[in-house]
A and B are shown apart, each in its own frame.
Chain A
Amino acid sequence: MKTFILSLFITLTLSASAINHHQIKIIEKIFSEISISTELKIWSDNKKLLSELKKCTKFITVENPKDATMIILEDRDNLSKEVLSKSIFVLNYNLLSKIPKSFGALFWKKGRPNIVIIKPRIETQSIEISQALHPYLEERVW
């Protein structure tokens, strides 16, 4: 647990300088601690993120959002109807409010990386998280 938090924190801290690269690393860590009821197939509207995740052997990525079981969303405009039923992880805190289906977010606040996972939403969507992510659980979106 401690090791995870430390490594995550180091990654988070480092991510501030080269956000794209480290954002990917943090997301990889977050998703390696998450499990959903079906096979994890990731799609993202951030093409760079998707191509990086593709290189990672731990995850299955898909080109078509329809085939995905997990959506990583950066821009709300890219949210089509067909993905509304899927689990959504956002890259902007405000999207948590705007997209009720979204269960978590990774975003930068005052230069620091922040993670929020909304507890009621993961429970509704049968998303399980490991102990390592518990410090980031929130009951609601503020």
Chain B
Amino acid sequence: MVKKKELFLFFSLLLLGIFLIYTYNYIKEAKHEIFVKIEKDKIQQIANIFDNLKRATLIHHNIKNAKELTLFLSDKRKRDEQEKKLSFLLSSNLKYIYVLTKDEKGRFRFLLDASKIDKANFYQKFDVKNPKYNLLYQTKEPQIIKQKDMENLQLTYLHPIIINNKVVAILSVDITDNLQNNILELIQPLETFFIILIIFIFLLISMTIIQVLHYFFTRKKIFTDPLTGLYNRNYLQEILPMLKLQHYSIAMLDLDRFKVINDTYGHKTGDFVLSQSSTIFKNSIRDSDILIRYGGEEFLLFIYNRDNKISTFEICERIRKNVESFSFHFDEDEINVSVSIGIHENPSLEKNVNEAIKVADAMLYVAKNEGRNRVIQYSENRQKHTQTKDINYVKLALQENRVICFYQPIYNHQTGEIYKYESLVRIKDKSEKIISPMEFLPELKHTNIHYKLTQRILSIVFDAFRDNSLSVSINLNFSDFINQDIEDTIVNELSNNRDLASRVTFEILESDEIDNIALLKEKIDTLRSLGSKISIDDFGSGYSNFRTVLDMDANYLKIDGSLIKNIDKNEKDFQVVKSIINFAKEAQMKTIAEFVHSQEVYDKLLTIDVDYLQGYYIAQPSEKILQKEELF
């Protein structure tokens, strides 16, 4: 869309240009007409004077027709007398005054010539070809002839001499262009000014046109992502002011495990997957929907919802299924691709589109957490659980010491003892309500507040476990690991308290964020040198790179809850968990199964030699550190 101000400028200049052209033409027209208008009065005066003369002469001498008039004027004395009277009318502008009559052959002849120069003889033939001479005889009306290229004559005024309702002669007055030239000379600067102004305006119009054309030619490049051919974020910015949110639902789409695809198969394959997926998305939506490549593998879809034939959820589900069923082949590799989608069906309920996108993004986050390859739609109930808190909310909680930790026991089923506790962050809101990390952590990703929060958790946990003999796990992500302030906090505390250090396990989320294994290993070695242990969190949830796991040389491997929760019913999950346990044993790592939410799951896990268990079936997270008597 062309920017409104450019269109406004263009049309304003166009209107101004048209106005100036009109004014210029008006002046040009006026320039020619003004002379006629000025002379008209003068001519009228001459006509009046001549009428008086005519009456005095013709009536007085009882002249009844052209023949008698010719006869009358053939007398030189009478002619001189009449010419003398007429000559009074001569001026610098009125060059010639003469009377013509038509002879029997229709040729015009001089009867009188009061001109001072170029005087004609009586009855001398006068070759005139302009049809207005004869028209005067027909109409009996005065005629004005605008002369061109005739000496310096500008106008010829023809006045009929009528006797008995019949034209017997013509009074002809030739007017020079002296006056007109003077007028033109005066007008010339104004005319030049208008010409310059018009040229200037048209230059501006041309520049605006060039700009608009340039905009049209380049808009495709500006607004299109070259890889996928989809609109990019520039386009989103362009349409946002005009977008009627009440007509659209918003969906955030994200290709699952895209980094794995990129790392495993290379960027060319990654580009291929992006391109193919985009084509599938495009083919799965309607012309009225707007699809935008929002980030790397993230897409934003505005679904037009005024057409109630198909629901937003159905469209997204169609996209998900089409991606899932499509066979992605590149360089003889078959790649499994899926997409997670978060929907906000009524984005107009939010303050602005950015807030609506955040909600859709939160739904996408839920979709990812619930196992990927699914569509999650925003609902009031879900919102209660997933309502995101902004950074300021967390900042205030930090300031007001409302950040707390819950501890969930990790159970050793062989000894029947609590092996250790996992510390889990919570915020207590002002009404003492406990806020889940899902509601505020996504907002903090890669922000300074996240690091401050991690530091606070470390401080809380160290305080809680410094003076007892219990063990504890603390969750850190890769960015925490490489943050110098966090490292300093850990080293300062644990280097002075080796006993505590030996009871602390750092759980690192084995995720696609880890892009520098060497650095990670260096940091792990630092922690290990203090006597702490390392655990890999959520293993099997997606980014399960065995090589990385081995490189990290972890003490524990925590199996992802998505594999555990249905292990009693899902044979495949059971087999995967079994394999992971075998792998862990080979790598000399202890295994922890989380999400043990039922006795069935618990019993099933006991059959496959998992080392430790954690979940609601054993104990829910609690602000208080639970004892073994409080389990189950």
Q: A14-B149, A135-B107 are in contact. Are A110 and B174 (CB under 8 A)?
A: yes
A48 within 8 A of B: no
Count residues on chain A whose CB falls below 8 Å from chain B CBs. Answer: 20
Of A14, A17, A138, A142, the residue contacting B122 (CB under 8 A) is: A142
Interface residue stretch chosen among B126-134, B201-209, B325-333: B126-134
B125 and A114 contact, CB distance less than 8 A = yes
Q: Which residues of A sit under 8 angstroms from B126, Cβ to Cβ?
A: 109-110, 112, 114
Binary per-residue interface labels of chain B (40-72) against chain A in the complex, 1 for a CB within 8 Å, 0 otherwise: 000000000000000000000000000000000
Q: From residue 103 to 158 of chain B, which have CB atoms closer than 8 A to chain A? A: 107, 109, 115, 118, 120-129, 147, 149-151, 153
Q: From residue 72 to 118 of chain A, which have CB atoms closer than 8 A to chain B? A: 93, 108-116
Q: Is the interface of B mostly helix, strand, loop or mixed?
A: loop
Q: Which residue of B lies closest to A94 (CB)?
A: B121
Report how far A135 CA is from B127 CA in the complex, Å. Answer: 9
B118 and A109 contact, CB distance less than 8 A = yes
Q: Which residues of A sit under 8 angstroms from B231, Cβ to Cβ?
A: none
Binary per-residue interface labels of chain A (56-70) against chain B in the complex, 1 for a CB within 8 Å, 0 otherwise: 000000000000000
Q: Which residues of B sit under 8 angstroms from A116, Cβ to Cβ?
A: 125
Report how far A142 CA is from B96 CA in the complex, Å. Answer: 20
Shortest Cβ distance from residue B421 to the other chain A in the assembled complex, whole angstroms: 114
Shortest Cβ distance from residue B152 to the other chain A in the assembled complex, whole angstroms: 8
B595 within 8 A of A: no
A12 and B149 contact, CB distance less than 8 A = no
Q: Which residue of B lies closest to A116 (CB)?
A: B125
Shortest Cβ distance from residue A42 to the other chain B in the assembled complex, whole angstroms: 23
Q: Which residues of B sit under 8 angstroms from A17, Cβ to Cβ?
A: 149-150
B120 and A13 contact, CB distance less than 8 A = no
Q: Which residues of B sit under 8 angstroms from A12, Cβ to Cβ?
A: 127, 129
Q: Which residues of B sit under 8 angstroms from A136, Cβ to Cβ?
A: 125, 127
B98 within 8 A of A: yes
Q: A9-B129, A16-B149 are in contact. Are A110 and B98 (CB under 8 A)?
A: yes
B153 and A142 contact, CB distance less than 8 A = no
Q: A135-B107, A142-B121 are in contact. Are A111 and B150 (CB under 8 A)?
A: yes
Q: Which residues of A sit under 8 angstroms from B124, Cβ to Cβ?
A: 93, 109, 142
Report how far A138 CA is from B147 CA in the complex, Å. Answer: 27
Q: Which residues of B sit under 8 angstroms from A112, Cβ to Cβ?
A: 126-128, 150
Q: Which residues of B sit under 8 angstroms from A111, Cβ to Cβ?
A: 147, 150-151, 153, 174
Shortest Cβ distance from residue B178 to the other chain A in the assembled complex, whole angstroms: 14
B96 and A110 contact, CB distance less than 8 A = yes
Shortest Cβ distance from residue A129 to the other chain B in the assembled complex, whole angstroms: 16
Q: Which residues of B sit under 8 angstroms from A135, Cβ to Cβ?
A: 107
Q: Which residues of A sit under 8 angstroms from B115, Cβ to Cβ?
A: 110
Q: Which residues of A sit under 8 angstroms from B174, Cβ to Cβ?
A: 110-111
Of B107, B109, B120, the residue contacting A110 (CB under 8 A) is: B120
Shortest Cβ distance from residue A95 to the other chain B in the assembled complex, whole angstroms: 13
Q: A114-B127, A135-B107, A138-B125 are in contact. Are A109 and B120 (CB under 8 A)?
A: yes
Report how far A112 CA is from B109 CA in the complex, Å. Answer: 14
A13 and B149 contact, CB distance less than 8 A = yes
Interface centre among B109, B126, B149, B153 (most CB of A within 10 A): B149
Q: Which residues of A sit under 8 angstroms from B149, Cβ to Cβ?
A: 13-14, 16-17
Q: Which residues of A sit under 8 angstroms from B153, Cβ to Cβ?
A: 111
Q: List 13 A-B contacts (CB under 8 A).
A: A12-B127, A17-B150, A93-B124, A109-B118, A109-B120, A109-B124, A110-B98, A110-B126, A112-B126, A115-B127, A135-B107, A142-B122, A142-B125
Chain A residues close to B by CB (< 8 Å)? 9, 12-14, 16-17, 93, 108-116, 135-136, 138, 142
Known: A109-B120, A112-B128. 6 other contacts (CB 8 A): A93-B124, A111-B150, A112-B150, A135-B107, A138-B125, A142-B125
